Amino acid sequence: MAGAIDFYFDFSSPYGYLAAEMIEDLGQRCGRAVNWHPMLLGVVFKSTGGQPLTMAPMKGPYSVLDMRRSAAFYGIPFNMPSVFPIATQNPARAVLWMQQNHPAHAKQFTLELFRVFFRSNRDISKLDVVGDVAAGLGYNATDVIAAAQSEDIKNQLKANVETAITRGVFGSPFFIVDNEQFWGADRLPMLERWLTQGAWKY
C-alpha cells in the first residue's frame, strides 16, 4: 500500500489553513491517505531562528496581501484575524485528544478550528472558543477543555513537535511523503504531480 502524506501545520499559519482545505482532495486523487500533525511554529522557530512572516521587515505587508490573494485564487474564504499571530497550544492539544478519542471527526474538528479563526475572526487560542467548536460537532466542551489542559496531552504535543523538528519540518504547511519534503501550500501542485506522474531527477 502506498505511503501516507504527513501534513504538518500550525493553527496560526494562513497557508496551513489553505492547505488544510485542499490536502484531503489531493490525497484522494493520488490514492494516498493523509496524516494530520498539529505542531507549534514558535518552538520550531527557536531551532531555526525564524519568525512569523507578518513580523518580518518588508515581508510583512506583502505576506498579508499574498495570503488574501492566494485564498481568492483557490476560492477559499479568508479574513485576516484581528489578533495575529496567536499561541496555538490549546487547539493543537485539543486536536491530539480528538485524534485519539474520536478519530472519525478529528479532521473536521481541525478544519472547523481553522475556519473560525481565518473566516470568523474568533481567537482559537482561548479554550472556551476551542470548546465551542467541539460542541458544534456534538462533543462536550468541558471534556475537550479539560483534555487540552492535561499533562498527558501536553507531553504528547511536545513529543510531536520534537519529532517534527527531527524530520526537518521548519514551516507550515509542510508535507512529507515517500521521504520527500514539500513546504508551502503553493507546492501542492508539485506534490500532486510527484505522486501521480512519478518522481523526477533533480
Polymer length in residues for the chain: 202
The CATH number of whichever domain residue 152 belongs to comes to 3.40.30.10
Q: Which among 183, 179, 178 is positioned nearest to 196, based on CA atoms?
A: 178
Number of domains in the chain: 1
Q: List the pLDDT tens digit at each of the 202 positions of the chain.
A: 689 999 999 999 999 999 999 999 999 999 999 999 999 999 988 888 777 778 788 888 899 999 999 999 999 999 999 999 999 999 999 999 999 999 999 999 999 999 999 999 999 999 999 999 999 999 999 999 999 999 999 999 999 999 999 999 999 999 999 999 999 999 999 999 999 999 899 9
Q: Which residues contact 150 (CB under 8 A, 6 or more apart)?
A: 97
110 exposure class (CB count in 10 Å sphere: 0-12, 13-18, 19+): buried
**How confident is the model at residue 49, as a pLDDT?**
78
**How confident is the model at residue 1, as a pLDDT?**
60
Q: 26 phi and psi, to 5 degrees? A: -60, -45
The answer to whether residue 202 sits within a structural domain is no
Range of the domain at 40: 5-197
The answer to whether residue 57 sits within a structural domain is yes
